Amino acid sequence: MPVEIETKKNLKGGRHAEGAAFPLLQKEKTMRVRMLVDMKGAPDGIHVNDYASGNVYDLPESLAIPWLERGICEQDKILEGPSEKKDEAAGPFLRKKKRK
């Protein structure tokens, strides 16, 4: 029984039907986590990375959620925005005076 093999001729000039050189995959949502133990994991399912305890990583939800449930990491909830300096937060009356 003959089998049709996809060739450049069958793919309209070597491209997929949408016109892209490769099919576009949806980017998975990520979650920022702080590791509680050293761990190895493959965020893309292929390449294995080392994750060190105490460091913060942006992991895909498919990897982060099971690790959160098992206590391997915790969600890192750092507030986004500019950091404040102590002198600015203290107010005008509590700032140290500069000597000339």
pLDDT score for 33:
95
Domain membership of residue 58 (yes or no) is yes
| Global pTM exceeds 0.75 | no
Domain membership of residue 45 (yes or no) is yes
Range of the domain at 34: 30-78
Domain membership of residue 1 (yes or no) is no
In three-state secondary structure terms, 16 is: coil
Domain membership of residue 41 (yes or no) is yes
CATH number for position 65: 3.40.5
Domain membership of residue 83 (yes or no) is no
| Tokens standing for residue 65 | 């959620």
Domain membership of residue 90 (yes or no) is no
List Cβ neighbours of 87 (8 Å cut-off, separation of 6 or more): 95, 96
pLDDT single digits (tens) 32-60 = 999 999 999 998 889 999 999 999 999 99
The domain tally of the chain equals 1
Domain membership of residue 47 (yes or no) is yes
What percent of the chain lies above the pLDDT cut of 70? 52
Domain membership of residue 51 (yes or no) is yes
